[in-house]
Amino acid sequence: MDNSRLKSFLVIKNHILNYTDYGQGNVIVLLHGYLESLEVWGDFSIQLSKHYRVICFDIPGHGQSDMLSETQTMDELASCIHDALISLKIQKCFLVGHSMGGYLTLMFHHLFPEKLSGFCLFHSHPFADSDEKRENRLREMELIKDGKKSLIASVNIPNTYASENVTVFNSEIEKAKNIVLKTPNKGIIANLHAMMTRPDLSESLAGSRLAFLYIVGKKDNLIDFHNIVPKIKLPENYKLIVLENSGHMGFIEEKQIALNHIKSFIDVKIN
């Protein structure tokens, strides 16, 4: 397989799952975050594909993938990704999850550790939603139902960047807003449900024996570097990377640094 992008679809239990597959070598699977699609990985995934086989999925309900149900759960999403890997005849992969994709990565690790050569959380954490966070998600559901998706895009997307990076990455922010506007309303609500009902997987993460890479942004507006990150119990075989000038989008805000760390980690721990 060469490095050209191959965009295709799988049918998993009567649901369409959109993905791209390009590059050769060890398999890396990239899972995007809430209100995103596989498009957000852009050049980041292309650069990785120079060294590895890179597969990007549209998480069910986002991008061009069908939602599994209006009340889909994180374990159902993990089972869908698991079935997709089986369909693609992939024995093991290094799984990278951004934000909500990190929640999905942790659930996949919890249910199917034998399918992983290692895993990475990219601006994510293992905790369940707090009561306050669940209330915020319920309010967001109501905004979607009221036809205010554009308001969510205009507020949420810039907030994912460090404040000083908003102007610098304005074009990327506008692209991300357009992804939100293209995302089906029911898909957004389904994934809000998946996030707000997910369990705490702190102990599952802490007890992992797999190689684990944790990438955080020091200026993340969504995951407080000083209050949340220190509370996480990290497994024995871990590496923590702090992106000093990133918010919640380090694979864009500090792309080359993040790429170097992922490649170094995989080449040392996985090869």
**Residue 270 has what pLDDT?**
84
As a whole number of angstroms, the distance between CA 24 and CA 32 comes to 21
**Residue 6 has what pLDDT?**
60
As a whole number of angstroms, the distance between CA 187 and CA 177 comes to 16
Domain 7-269, CATH: 3.40.50.1820
Whether 3 has a pLDDT exceeding 60, the answer reads no
- Mean pLDDT on 79-86: 98
Beta bridge partners of 243: 217
Band (pLDDT 50/70/90 cuts) for residue 65 is very high
Average pLDDT, rounded, for the chain: 96
157-203 tens-digit pLDDT: 999 999 999 999 999 999 999 999 999 999 999 999 999 999 999 99
End-to-end Cα spacing for the chain: 20
105-157 tens-digit pLDDT: 999 999 999 999 999 999 999 999 999 999 999 999 999 999 999 999 999 99
As a whole number of angstroms, the distance between CA 1 and CA 63 comes to 24
6-52 tens-digit pLDDT: 669 999 999 999 999 999 999 999 999 999 999 999 999 999 999 99
223-232 tens-digit pLDDT: 999 999 999 9
- Mean pLDDT on 240-258: 98
- Mean pLDDT on 65-89: 97
**Residue 1 has what pLDDT?**
34
Which pTM was predicted? 0.96
Band (pLDDT 50/70/90 cuts) for residue 2 is very low
**Residue 10 has what pLDDT?**
96
- List of E strands, 23-157: 27-31, 53-57, 93-98, 116-122
- Mean pLDDT on 247-268: 97
Whether 239 has a pLDDT exceeding 60, the answer reads yes
Ordered strands of the 238-243 beta sheet: 7-12, 15-22, 53-57, 27-31, 93-98, 116-122, 211-217, 238-243
CB 99 within 8 A of CB 34: yes
